[in-house]
Amino acid sequence: MRKPFIGGNWKMNTDSASAAELACGLSRNLDDVCNEKVDVTVCPPFVYLSAVKKALGPCQIGLGAQDVYFEPKGAFTGEISCSMLKDVGCSHVIIGHSERRHIIKESDELINRKLSAAISSGLLAIFCVGELLEQRNAGKTNSVVAEQIKKGMAGIGLEKACAVTIAYEPVWAIGTGINATAQQAQEVHVMIRELIAKLYDKSFAQQIRIQYGGSATAANAAELMSQPDIDGLLVGGASLKLEDFTKIVMAAAERKII
Ligand code: PGA
């Protein structure tokens, strides 16, 4: 049985005071359920990672960054290395988020290098994939997502792949208020699991956690996670609201699969 995993992607939001306040609230609300029933990781902007780490205190909520660069150090102005993330207390890093793919124009090749470097350094990766609306409408969802996974995980062997959580985030659902239905998400998650079985093996395919992301809220969390292959959520907007994110984590802790 895969333990549910909820990620909070704060994106380019908060300031030092509100980031610390949100983190304090989360540690207060979630300490009891975290780790035992559900894994939770929050991903604030780089500049607030240390403050959030401090505010989370000894609770079991993980700390993640929203991106990382693959080189270990040197003349890469503006970039952040894996060891820097670990140095400030990160356990996780999001890689290949759709906003980086489509706004910053990150390629599958770059994402692959980042994923490989992150895992080699000992970070756990939340590797994001997902189709555009026109790709879905053209019936290309499965082929687009499969291609992103094959290219993103190229050269990453079974041992390293164990550090990966896949987040299926249809681009048309992110920040739009239009979530994929539980059924739509489940179908893609099944396809991803079958692909992982082919690329690695059946037993690993049953172990790897696949999150859904895209307008996940306190209102739809339980329904999304009622699907057998939806192992958690990557939450954007609703992760900035203490009450909503708390409810989402609680829904994961009390998950009932139908
Ligand atoms: P959203 O973002 O929940 O605001 O749609 C999800 C994400 O981009 O990870």
Q: Is the dihedral angle over the CA atoms 98, 100, 105, 106 positive or is it negative?
A: negative
Cα angle value 207/171/9 (rounded, 5°): 65
pLDDT score of 46: 98
Mean residue pLDDT across the chain: 97
Q: 247 is written with which tokens?
A: 């409810």
- Residues with catalytic roles: 97, 169
Q: Which residue CA neighbors atom 3 of ligand 1 most closely?
A: 236
Of 94, 109, 92, nearest to 12 by C-alpha is 94
What's the 75 CA to ligand 1 centre distance in angstroms? Answer: 32
What's the 190 CA to ligand 1 centre distance in angstroms? Answer: 21
Q: Is the pLDDT of residue 93 over 90?
A: yes
What's the 255 CA to ligand 1 centre distance in angstroms? Answer: 21
Q: Is the pLDDT of residue 195 over 90?
A: yes
pLDDT score of 101: 98
Q: Which residue has the tokens 């490989």?
A: 116
Of 12, 140, 141, nearest to 67 by C-alpha is 12
Fold of 5-253: TIM Barrel (3.20.20)
Q: Is the pLDDT of residue 168 over 90?
A: yes
178: amino acid identity, one letter? I
Q: Which residue CA neighbors atom 6 of ligand 1 most closely?
A: 236
User: Which residue out of 93, 235, 241 has the highest number of ligand 1 atoms within 8 Å of its CB and is therefore the one to mutate?
Assistant: 235
What's the 236 CA to ligand 1 centre distance in angstroms? Answer: 3
pLDDT score of 15: 98
- Please report which confidence band the pLDDT of residue 144 belongs to, taking 50, 70 and 90 as the band edges: very high
- Please report which confidence band the pLDDT of residue 35 belongs to, taking 50, 70 and 90 as the band edges: confident
The pLDDT of 173-185, averaged and rounded, is 97
The pLDDT of 131-156, averaged and rounded, is 98
Q: Which residues line ligand 1 (CB under 6 A)?
A: 9, 169, 174-175, 213-216, 234-238
What's the 195 CA to ligand 1 centre distance in angstroms? Answer: 24
Atom nearest to 128 CA in ligand 1: 9
pLDDT score of 92: 98
Residue 192, phi then psi, degrees to nearest 5: -60, -45
Q: Which residue has the tokens 């009390």?
A: 254
Atom nearest to 238 CA in ligand 1: 3
pTM of the model: 0.98
158: amino acid identity, one letter? L
Q: Which residue CA neighbors atom 2 of ligand 1 most closely?
A: 236
Atom nearest to 235 CA in ligand 1: 3
The pLDDT of 30-47, averaged and rounded, is 95
- Please report which confidence band the pLDDT of residue 28 belongs to, taking 50, 70 and 90 as the band edges: very high
- Please report which confidence band the pLDDT of residue 258 belongs to, taking 50, 70 and 90 as the band edges: confident
Q: Which residue CA neighbors atom 7 of ligand 1 most closely?
A: 236
The pLDDT of 127-140, averaged and rounded, is 98
Domain ranges across the chain: 5-253
Q: What is the pLDDT of residues 204-257, one digit of tens each?
A: 999 999 999 999 999 999 999 999 999 999 999 999 999 999 999 999 999 999
List residues bridging with 234 in a β-sheet.
Answer: 7, 213
